[in-house]
Structures are given as structure tokens and as C-alpha cells.
């Protein structure tokens, strides 16, 4: 971006008549004066003096040197000498007096003074630029005073001096406050942490927290992570890598800013002590996130923190995550380890002061102290252990309490807290090793998967055989749909391309570009007979095509769409009828054979519609946004029944083929709802893995959910995972589709350049 520069302007300073050498007759002229200006954002701000003059003839528009005005013989003007005619000599213009030039030093002083506030906001300090503004300002005033009127720019020099002195004083103040902590942080980053702890002067909790915040302000060389011990540094590295992988899989990387102190990357600092752990995270381009994206980021950051610290914290220990932008916190989350569920109630949003309890005061002897707790020596760090280790012996002080801030703790105490899997019927205080003598507390091993426990702890058998692949799909695939009998597969993409694929041969039959009218394509669907294909676009438009026997697409009559992005589609199994939902919370249903008929509309939600269902018989349809389940009359466009669903933000939802069951993914928990009563009938738990997509198999008794690198097959009869469809990598599976016949499943990771896989599932699976 061009902030400042230079520009030459012209103006008319005189006019009259003169003998034009080219016209060979008398003509009117204009005397043009050229001036040089310093510009800010292309606007002339400071004049830098004249750079020349020219005479412009108004007859031929030629331009000459100013000497042409006085050219000619002493007794006869030039034009008379050329033409032989006598004419009066034009009056000689008044002598031009040069205007004083603007001092370059004064302009330099003003520029440095204007840049100093910008550097102060971005870097927190502007000592060099403000000091340079002061020095050049004084030199400019001295130069102007000695020029005897030949130089100007006193005002610019004074302005640069004022800005320089003010910003220099502000920078000195900030350096006095933050300099010692920043210096210690740099030293600790260059030395082994144990040496730095021994050499550092005693620091309060506030100082240590401030030093951690300064460390995530900029990149420290090639490393984006740091910690108060080698153990903590490894945790910070692991957490940073998890956040980067999560952003690539679930969030847009965003644009790079011109002034970026972190190169657009996550920067993580970890503070690890027995019984507590805190992550301070710089989130790149945090202020560009929408509120919905920030809420999703908070949830994922908390779950990843639980996974990262799981080998070092016992169930019920304190955990904190602070998400920061360039200058301020966006969210500070505090809760207990072992509570990695998707519900936002598993953590509390608190103020910055709550983080002080996680940063105890450390003195030269390596003692860690917190107000109200006895001092104890910080144990030497141990190497990071594997996730499957049965125990991790970390000394725990029985008198230690994880909250020492003013007022009540941000989360309720849980003396009878049960770790995931409920492996003990005793409260935490009665667990082995947590005696009154303060012995080491062993971390119990996780149980094998059963019922609604963490199935990730047990290795699920691989199910399904890959029958077809479509490699390198280019931009991310947003939606998938099988034609009846699974012959064709439609894919809607992020780059507004609609693909029709032949499952048997692996060929791409059609590729339709819909960039201008549709945008990206978040949902596609086939009619019940496979003769028509429908697509919903990001701009709210609905488009239909006729599908011939050879897989050719021909555009059909236009359909009535939405004002915002289409989020879900459903076709009737018995009639030429289409039902769609949008991000505006409304539903539209219409006939795709009689397009002249008016479509019906109903707005029933305040957020995006996640799933809709058309019945095989009757006129009562279903829709949900994950928080509410609505039954409505297709004939009257009126709501018939509303059921409130417990839960917060849902990632995905799906109706069973007969509409009797609704599945809603709330992060790592999938809830099954009976649509008739609106009651929750079961829960499927994936531990700490987020489930981003859901699809029922045609039998209605099995469900597929898309997680990290794999899809899970669930039995709804007993709530058990039957197996895993491994798609490789760590990217999330956000696009799934099941064929109405043949037990075919299509799935693809959510990223660019991925392979679309078609898997044939066995009809009968052994019980795990």
C-alpha cells in the first residue's frame, strides 16, 4: 500500500499576448508554474518548492521557455522581424522572484513524526523514529534560520518536533513498564529454561503473566512456541501444531496483513505446574473472525487443549486457555481437565485476572508460590510420555487449590468429579495416591470403548471396501449426493463447480461452472427417480438440471430460491417436490414439475437450517437448526409443533429415512431425538473428536459421522461404534453421502486437492 510519495502540479501565474514562434503571429499565452509536493495517500500536503516554468500558446498549445516573452531585436519584436509588419512590442512581464524552497529536513522530521504513532501501536515502542524526528526537526530549524529566507518549512519542522517529543516520552514510559519483562522473556527464550529460572529475579504473578503475553506478540525466530519448562515447551509445540492443523481443516487461513508481527501463524506459550496448565495463544487475524467463527474457535481450542494436556493433568485439575489478538484477549476459558465434552458448559469465560492463579511467583531458588498456598520446590521436568501410558507421576500438594483470585472460583468445585469413562466409583479425594500425605497421584488408564464411552481409546475395526476413488478434486468439495441405485455421484464445490461422476467407471461426466449465479455449492440432491439434479448456491439460488441416461445435464426451468445461502435440500420420495432450508432460517417448498406454481415459505429459526425432511405420506414435514425441532404443515405453511433441543451450537444434523429419528452433532457428542415426542432417546460419544457431518444409512438403524481423518459407523440399537472408515490424514470429513441402495458411502476430507472415496459397506457387521 502506497502511504506517501511526491507529486508535481502546475498552475497559471500570468497571462497576456506574445509573438508565438510556431504560429508566426501574435497569440495569447499562459505562464505555467510547476511545483513539487509531498503527498500522503496521493493528497498533496507539503509544498517542496518550484521546479520550473513554461509559456503555453493558446493558439497551437505549444509550450516554450519563458525567454520567448522577451525574445527579439532591441528596436523590433521577433514577430515583426519575421513577418516584416510593424507591431507594438509586448510589455515585458514583471521579473519573477523565486519562492523559498521547503527544507528537506523539515519534511523528513514531519514524516518520522507521523510514522511514530503507527509504530507505537504496532510494536509498542517508537524510540528510534521519534528520536530521529526530534533530531531532524532541530537541524531543519537551524538550516532554515541560516538560509536568509531561501528555505521554508518551519511549520513542518515544528510539527515533527512536537510529535517526536510526545512519542519519545510515551515510548520511554512503555519501555520502563514493559522493558524488564520483555528483556527477561528474550533471555529466557535464548537460554535453557532451568538456567533462566535460576538466574531470574523474583517475579510476581502479574509480571510472569505479562511476560508470557509479550512472548506471543511476535515470532521468536523459527519457533512459534515457548514455555516455562522443557515439558511446557513441548506441550506448547504440540498445541500450536494442533491449532495450525485445525485452522487448515476447519477455518479459512485468511489474508496476510501488511503489518503482521507473527507471520500469520499461531503463537503459543504454555505455563505448566503440578495440578494446573495454562495456554496463552495469539490467534492471527483474530479481529476478522465473525462471532460464529469465534465461538467455534473457542470450542475447538478448548478441546485441543484438553487433548494436549491430557498426559500431564489429572481429572479435575485446572486448565486455562487465553485467546489473544494483536493487543487484547478475545476469550479466556477456564475449567477442569478431563472435561473435554463439546458443551460450552465445560468451561467458563473469565477475565484476565483469573489467569494469575496459573502463573505462581518464582524466586531464585526455583520455588513456586501462590498466595494462600505453601511454597514448594518445582520438580525437574520429565520427558513427554506417550498418550497410552497408564500413569504419570506428578507430585501433587494436597493443600493446593487451583483458584486464588478474588471472589468465588470461576467454576464450581467438584470433589466427586468422575474422569471420562467413570473408571472409579470413589470421589477424587479417595483416588489412590491422593492421600493426606500428599503422595503422587497416578493417572488411571482409560477403559475400553463400551456404550457411550470414549471409543477413540479402543481401536475400532476397519469396515468397508473402497470401490472407486476420484483423486485430486481441486478446491474443497462442499456437498455430495448419490443418484438412486448409486450409479452417479454429484459433487458441489467451493469454487462453484458442479461435477457429475460415474461411480462404476470413475469418469467425470459433467462439469458445470456456476460462479456468477450460484457461488459455492453447499448442497446437492437428486430426485427420487434420478431424472433431475438440484443444487443450492451460496447466493441463495436453486438450480435444476434434467439428467439423461448417459449422464448428460440439461438446464431445467428456474426454481424459486432464498435470500441467503441454501444450507440443505430434500426431495420427496413419492412426489416431484423439493424442500430447501437456508442460512436465514427459512424453508421453501415447491414442485419442480410445475414451476409456474407459487412456492410456499416459512421462517421458523433464527439461525441456519441444518436439516429438513419430507414425509412419504401426509403433509407434515420436519426441519431443525440443532436447537429446535419444528414440524410444519406443507399446505398451510404454519408451524404445528416446536420442540426445544437441549444443547448449544450444533455442527450437523440429519433425519432418518422415515423421519422418526433426528441425529444432532454437538461437537464430540451425537444426540438422538425421537421426532414424535421431541425427547432425547440416546447419546453417541466420540470422546474428544469433533463430528462435523452426519448421514443415515437406508436401513435407518445405522449412522455415519465424519470426524478427523475417518468416518465412524454407529449402531443406533445399542449406541456402539461398529467400525471406522479410514480416509487417511488428519483433516476433518465434512462431506458425506449415502446411496439409497447398495450400501455405498461417499466421503472426502475438507481441504483442497483431496481424494473422493466411494466405499461399499457390508450389510451385516459383527457386534464389537
pLDDT tens for each residue of 367-418:
444 444 433 344 443 443 333 333 333 333 333 333 333 444 443 433 333 3
429: CB partners within 8 A, 6+ apart: 415
Give the per-residue pLDDT at 198: 41
Highest mean predicted confidence (pLDDT) among 117-121, 144-148, 187-191, 627-631: 627-631
Any idea what DSSP says for residue 455?
G
Which helix or strand (DSSP H or E) is residue 35 part of?
strand 25-40
- Residue recorded with cell 439428467: 547
Give the per-residue pLDDT at 656: 94
pLDDT tens for each residue of 86-108:
444 444 444 444 556 777 888 88
What is the mean pLDDT of the segment spanning 462-478? 89
Measured over the CA atoms of residue 301, residue 302, residue 307 and residue 311, the dihedral's sign is positive
For domain 654-763, give the fold.
Methylamine Dehydrogenase; Chain H (2.130.10)
Mean pLDDT of the chain: 76
Question: Half-sphere exposure of 614 toward its Cβ, with a 13 Å CA cutoff?
Answer: 23
Task: Return d(Cα 213, Cα 282) in angstroms, integer.
Answer: 9
CA 592 → CA 480, 545, 747, 765, distances in Å? 20, 10, 28, 39
What is the mean pLDDT of the segment spanning 55-66? 86
In the predicted structure, residue 257 carries a pLDDT above the cut 60: no
Q: How confident is the model at residue 427 (pLDDT cuts 50, 70, 90)?
A: very low
Task: Return d(Cα 207, Cα 271) in angstroms, integer.
Answer: 13
C-alpha cell at 66: 519563458
Give the per-residue pLDDT at 83: 46
Give the per-residue pLDDT at 185: 55
Q: How confident is the model at residue 586 (pLDDT cuts 50, 70, 90)?
A: very high
pLDDT tens for each residue of 280-329:
999 988 877 887 788 888 888 988 998 888 888 888 888 999 999 877 88
User: Which residues face 347 on adjacent strands?
Assistant: 335
Highest mean predicted confidence (pLDDT) among 255-259, 462-466, 580-584: 580-584
Highest mean predicted confidence (pLDDT) among 28-37, 102-111, 194-203, 665-674: 665-674
Give the per-residue pLDDT at 14: 84
- In degrees rounded to 5, what are phi and psi of residue 579? -120, 130
Give the per-residue pLDDT at 147: 78
Residue 543 contacts residue 557 (beta carbons within 8 Å): no
**45 or 479, higher pLDDT:** 479
Give the per-residue pLDDT at 343: 43
User: Which residues face 64 on adjacent strands?
Assistant: 55
The whole-angstrom distance between residue 148's C-alpha and the CA centroid of its chain comes to: 59
Task: Return d(Cα 196, Cα 566) in angstroms, integer.
Answer: 56
In the predicted structure, residue 30 carries a pLDDT above the cut 50: yes
C-alpha cell at 165: 517529543
Residue 629 contacts residue 604 (beta carbons within 8 Å): no
What is the mean pLDDT of the segment spanning 710-718? 90
Give the per-residue pLDDT at 145: 82
What is the mean pLDDT of the segment spanning 744-760? 90
Give the per-residue pLDDT at 179: 66
Rounded to two decimals, what is the model's pTM?
0.47
User: Which residues face 29 on adjacent strands?
Assistant: 16, 57
Give the per-residue pLDDT at 739: 92
Which percentage of the chain shows pLDDT scores above 90? 27
What is the mean pLDDT of the segment spanning 600-625? 93
Give the per-residue pLDDT at 647: 67
Any idea what DSSP says for residue 407?
S
**47 or 487, higher pLDDT:** 487
Extract the runs of DSSP E, i.e. beta strands, from 79-193.
Answer: 101-102, 151-152
What is the mean pLDDT of the segment spanning 564-571? 94
Q: How confident is the model at residue 531 (pLDDT cuts 50, 70, 90)?
A: very high
Q: How confident is the model at residue 172 (pLDDT cuts 50, 70, 90)?
A: confident
In the predicted structure, residue 176 carries a pLDDT above the cut 50: yes
Q: How confident is the model at residue 115 (pLDDT cuts 50, 70, 90)?
A: confident
In the predicted structure, residue 122 carries a pLDDT above the cut 80: no
Give the per-residue pLDDT at 168: 84
Give the per-residue pLDDT at 98: 52
Give the closest residue to 527 by CA, choosing from 581, 579, 564, 468.
Answer: 579
In the predicted structure, residue 705 carries a pLDDT above the cut 70: yes
pLDDT tens for each residue of 131-146:
888 898 888 888 888 8
Give the per-residue pLDDT at 648: 65
Q: Return the minimum-mean-pLDDT range out of 125-134, 533-542, 658-667.
A: 125-134
Residue 437 contacts residue 399 (beta carbons within 8 Å): no
Give the per-residue pLDDT at 638: 93
User: Which residues face 333 on adjacent strands?
Assistant: 321, 349
Give the per-residue pLDDT at 251: 62
Helices (H), 291-390: 291-308
In the predicted structure, residue 1 carries a pLDDT above the cut 80: no
Question: Half-sphere exposure of 695 toward its Cβ, with a 13 Å CA cutoff?
Answer: 26
Residue 683 contacts residue 452 (beta carbons within 8 Å): yes
- Residue recorded with cell 481441504: 751
Residue 671 contacts residue 647 (beta carbons within 8 Å): yes
Which percentage of the chain shows pLDDT scores above 70? 74
CA 551 → CA 472, 478, 509, 515, distances in Å? 21, 21, 6, 22
What is the mean pLDDT of the segment spanning 514-533? 89
What is the mean pLDDT of the segment spanning 423-446? 33
411: CB partners within 8 A, 6+ apart: 334, 335, 336, 347, 348, 403
In the predicted structure, residue 22 carries a pLDDT above the cut 50: yes
Amino acid at each position: 500500500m502506497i502511504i506517501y510519495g511526491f507529486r508535481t502540479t502546475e498552475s497559471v501565474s500570468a497571462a497576456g499576448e506574445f509573438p508565438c514562434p510556431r504560429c508566426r503571429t501574435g497569440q495569447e499565452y499562459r505562464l505555467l508554474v510547476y511545483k513539487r509536493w509531498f503527498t500522503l495517500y496521493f493528497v498533496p500536503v507539503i509544498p517542496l518548492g518550484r521546479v520550473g516554468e513554461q509559456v503555453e500558446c493558446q493558439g497551437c498549445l505549444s509550450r516554450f521557455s519563458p525567454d520567448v516573452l522577451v525574445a527579439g531585436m532591441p528596436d523590433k519584436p521577433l514577430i515583426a522581424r519575421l513577418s516584416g509588419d510593424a507591431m507594438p512590442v509586448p510589455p515585458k512581464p514583471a521579473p519573477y522572484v523565486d519562492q523559498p524552497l521547503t527544507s528537506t529536513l523539515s519534511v523528513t522530521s514531519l514524516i518520522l513524526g507521523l510514522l511514530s504513532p503507527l509504530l507505537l501501536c504496532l510494536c509498542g515502542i517508537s524510540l528510534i523514529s521519534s528520536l530521529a524526528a526530534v533530531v531532524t526537526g532541530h537541524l531543519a530549524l537551524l538550516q532554515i534560520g541560516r538560509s536568509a529566507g531561501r528555505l521554508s518549512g518551519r511549520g513542518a519542522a515544528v510539527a515533527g518536533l512536537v510529535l517526536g517529543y510526545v512519542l519519545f516520552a510515551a515510548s520511554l514510559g512503555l519501555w520502563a513498564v514493559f522493558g524488564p519483562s520483555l528483556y527477561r522473556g528474550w533471555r529466557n527464550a535464548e537460554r535453557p529454561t532451568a538456567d533462566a529460572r535460576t538466574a531470574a529475579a523474583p517475579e510476581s504473578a502479574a509480571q510472569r503473566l505479562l511476560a508470557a503475553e509479550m512472548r506471543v506478540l511476535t515470532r521468536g525466530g523459527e519457533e512459534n512456541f515457548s514455555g516455562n519448562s522443557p515439558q511446557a515447551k513441548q506441550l506448547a509445540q504440540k498445541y500450536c501444531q494442533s491449532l495450525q492443523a485445525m485452522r487448515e481443516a476447519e477455518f479459512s487461513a485468511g489474508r496476510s496483513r501488511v503489518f503482521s508481527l507473527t507471520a500469520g501463524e499461531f503463537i503459543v506459550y504454555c505455563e505448566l505446574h503440578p495440578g494446573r496448565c495454562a495456554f496463552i495463544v495469539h490467534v492471527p487475524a483474530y479481529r476478522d473472525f465473525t462471532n460464529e467463527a469465534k465461538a467455534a474457535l473457542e470450542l475447538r481450542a478448548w478441546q485441543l487443549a484438553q487433548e494436549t494436556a491430557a498426559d500431564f493433568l489429572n481429572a479435575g485439575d485446572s486448565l486455562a486457555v487465553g485467546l489473544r489478538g494483536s493487543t487484547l484477549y478475545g476469550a479466556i476459558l477456564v475449567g477442569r481437565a478431563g472435561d473435554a465434552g463439546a458443551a460450552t458448559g465445560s468451561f467458563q469465560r473469565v477475565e484476565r485476572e483469573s489467569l494469575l492463579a496459573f502463573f505462581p511467583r518464582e524466586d531464585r531458588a526455583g520455588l513456586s508460590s501462590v498466595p494462600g498456598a505453601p511454597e514448594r520446590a518445582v520438580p525437574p521436568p520429565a520427558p513427554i510420555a506417550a498418550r497410552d501410558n497408564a500413569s504419570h507421576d506428578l507430585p501433587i500438594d494436597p493443600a493446593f487449590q487451583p483458584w486464588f483470585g478474588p471472589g468465588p472460583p470461576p467454576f464450581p468445585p467438584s470433589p466427586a468429579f468422575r474422569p471420562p469413562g467413570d473408571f472409579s466409583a470413589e470421589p477424587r479425594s479417595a483416588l489412590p495416591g491422593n492421600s493426606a500425605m500428599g503422595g503422587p497421584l497416578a493417572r488411571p488408564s482409560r477403559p475400553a470403548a463400551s456404550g457411550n464411552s470414549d471409543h477413540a481409546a479402543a481401536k475400532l475395526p476397519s469396515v468397508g471396501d473402497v470401490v472407486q476413488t476420484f483423486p485430486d478434486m481441486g478446491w474443497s468439495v462442499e456437498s455430495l449426493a448419490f443418484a438412486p441405485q448409486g450409479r452417479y455421484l454429484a459433487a458441489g464445490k467451493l469454487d462453484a463447480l458442479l461435477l457429475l461422476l460415474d461411480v462404476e467407471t470413475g469418469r467425470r461426466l459433467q462439469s458445470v461452472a456456476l460462479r456468477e449465479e450460484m457461488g459455492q455449492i453447499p448442497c446437492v440432491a437428486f430426485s427420487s427417480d434420478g431424472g433431475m439434479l438440484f443444487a443450492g448456491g451460496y447466493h441463495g439460488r436453486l438450480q435444476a438440471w434434467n439428467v439423461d441416461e448417459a449422464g448428460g445435464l440439461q438446464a431445467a426451468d428456474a426454481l424459486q430460491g432464498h435470500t441467503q445461502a441454501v444450507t440443505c435440500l430434500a426431495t420427496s420420495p413419492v412426489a416431484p417436490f423439493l424442500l430447501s432450508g437456508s442460512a436465514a432460517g427459512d424453508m421453501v417448498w415447491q414442485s419442480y414439475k410445475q414451476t409456474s406454481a407459487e412456492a410456499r415459505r416459512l421462517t421458523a429459526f433464527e439461525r441456519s437450517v441444518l436439516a429438513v425432511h419430507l414425509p412419504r405420506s401426509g403433509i407434515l414435514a420436519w426441519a431443525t437448526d440443532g436447537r429446535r425441532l419444528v414440524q410444519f404443515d406443507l399446505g398451510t405453511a404454519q408451524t404445528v409443533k416446536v420442540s426445544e433441543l437441549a444443547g448449544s451450537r450444533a455442527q450437523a444434523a440429519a433425519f432418518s429415512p422415515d423421519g422418526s429419528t433426528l441425529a444432532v452433532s454437538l461437537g464430540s457428542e451425537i444426540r438422538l431425538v425421537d421426532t414424535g415426542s421431541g425427547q432425547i432417546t440416546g447419546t453417541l460419544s466420540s470422546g474428544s473428536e469433533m463430528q462435523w457431518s452426519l448421514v443415515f444409512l437406508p436401513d435407518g438403524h445405522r449412522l455415519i459421522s465424519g470426524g478427523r481423518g475417518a468416518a465412524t459407523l454407529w449402531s443406533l440399537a445399542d449406541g456402539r461404534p461398529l467400525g471406522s472408515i479410514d480416509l487417511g490424514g488428519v483433516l476433518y470429513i465434512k462431506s458425506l453421502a449415502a446411496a439409497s441402495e447398495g450400501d455405498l458411502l461417499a466421503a472426502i476430507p475438507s481441504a483442497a486437492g483431496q481424494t473422493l472415496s466411494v466405499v461399499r459397506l457390508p450389510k451385516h457387521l459383527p457386534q464389537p
